[in-house]
A and B are shown apart, each in its own frame.
Chain A
Amino acid sequence: MKISTRGRYGIRLLIDLAEQNDSNCVTLSSIAERQNISVRYLEQVAIILRRAGFIRSVKGASGGYTLARDSSDIIVGDVLRVLEGDMLIVDPPIKGTTETLLTSCIRRVVFEPLNRRIAEIIDSENLAALVGTQDTEEAYMYFI
């Protein structure tokens, strides 16, 4: 149950762009430096984010990347689904096959509510809200 590096780095790339919140373009090499991620990896992620319409590139000497829309219009869930393929906890049932009674029971009682909960969380966050948020200590609470 892991988010891949593509999803994690993609979110950091977008947050970095949102934090440089002027209209100037930001180069991937400056993001790479701030975020300590390799430029080559960021390039791959940036291509996906650009095709999906989250960022746009500007060519030229002062070129680079900028958010393609307002950061409040960029939903974390949409970004993650593009980068990760989907955000489901199990594969959807294969069409034309029937599940066993046991597996369909587990899907109904466990996996479907969990998929809904995950979607609620990631779809309730936009990039603007994320920028400036800091560690809330919430995660620590879970260990106490």
Chain B
Amino acid sequence: MRISTKGRYSLEAMLYIALLPGDIYSSTREIAEKTGISEGYLEQLFIPLRRAGFLCGIRGPQGGYLLGKPAKEIKVGSIVRSVEGPLQPTPCVQPNICPKQEFCTSRFTWSRLYIGINECLDTISLQNLVDDFRSRHEPEYSI
């Protein structure tokens, strides 16, 4: 029942970018160096993150990535869903996947779990991560 590295690394990269001043572009090379995540993997993850509007990128030697919108408007649940797909414990929680959905008793548990996971992650924003980080590590932490 694990979140994959896609979700974990995306959160890490997004938090890294969110901690920088708003006008500083960060390149995938720099993020790779600071986090230890491979540059190729970051580039792969940034495709859906850009498409979802969480990141915007500019090309060129001074290019890189910025947050696509304010950190408080980016839910952790949306970040993880954009790279992992729907956060469903079983396929059957989607409507009309299983012919037994009307009377299956175990589906009830999976549905509660599915709703709980999404609700929990949707109450946390990227800003909550930034705030927690700053309250513990600044000013000694500098990027």
A-side residues, CB < 8 A to B, are 1-3, 8, 11-12, 15, 76, 84, 86-91, 100-103, 105-106, 108-111, 113-114, 117-118, 120-122, 125, 130-136, 138-140, 142-143
Docked-complex contact B2 and A1, CB < 8 angstroms: yes
Query: Which of the residues B84, B107, B118, B119 comes within 8 Å of A135, measured between beta carbons?
Result: B107
Docked-complex contact B1 and A91, CB < 8 angstroms: no
Instruction: Take A118-B116, A125-B109, A131-B105 as given contacts and tell me if A109 and B1 are in contact as well, using a CB distance cutoff of 8 Å.
Output: no
Query: Which of the residues B36, B87, B114, B124 comes within 8 Å of A110, measured between beta carbons?
Result: B124
Q: What does DSSP make chain A's interface, helix, strand, loop or mixed?
A: helix
In the complex, which residue of chain B has the Cβ closest to the Cβ of A7?
A: B1
Query: B20 in the interface, Cβ–Cβ < 8 Å?
Result: no
Docked-complex contact B95 and A11, CB < 8 angstroms: no
Provide the bound-state CA to CA distance between A142 and B120, in Å: 13
- Give 24 pairs: A residue, B residue, CB < 8 Å, sorted on A: A2-B88, A2-B90, A3-B90, A15-B105, A76-B109, A88-B1, A90-B2, A90-B3, A101-B141, A102-B133, A105-B129, A105-B133, A109-B124, A110-B129, A114-B121, A117-B116, A117-B120, A118-B113, A118-B116, A121-B116, A135-B101, A135-B108, A138-B111, A139-B93
Q: What does DSSP make chain B's interface, helix, strand, loop or mixed?
A: helix
In the complex, which residue of chain B has the Cβ closest to the Cβ of A89?
A: B3
Task: Pick the interface stretch among B9-17, B21-29, B66-74.
Answer: B9-17
For the side of the interface on B, what is the size category? Answer: 35 or more
In the complex, which residue of chain B has the Cβ closest to the Cβ of A134?
A: B103
Docked-complex contact B1 and A89, CB < 8 angstroms: yes
Q: Which 10 residue pairs spanning A and B have beta carbons closest together?
A: A139-B111, A117-B120, A105-B133, A3-B89, A11-B106, A121-B116, A133-B108, A109-B132, A15-B105, A109-B129
Sample of 11 further A-B pairs with CB below 8 A, known A3-B110, A117-B116, A121-B116: A8-B110, A106-B129, A108-B132, A109-B132, A111-B3, A114-B120, A117-B119, A118-B116, A135-B103, A135-B104, A142-B118
Interface string of B77-108 (1 = CB under 8 A from A): 00000001001111001010000011111111
Docked-complex contact A1 and B112, CB < 8 angstroms: no
Query: B8 in the interface, Cβ–Cβ < 8 Å?
Result: yes
Provide the bound-state CA to CA distance between A87 and B107, in Å: 17
Provide the bound-state CA to CA distance between A111 and B4, in Å: 12
Docked-complex contact B109 and A110, CB < 8 angstroms: no
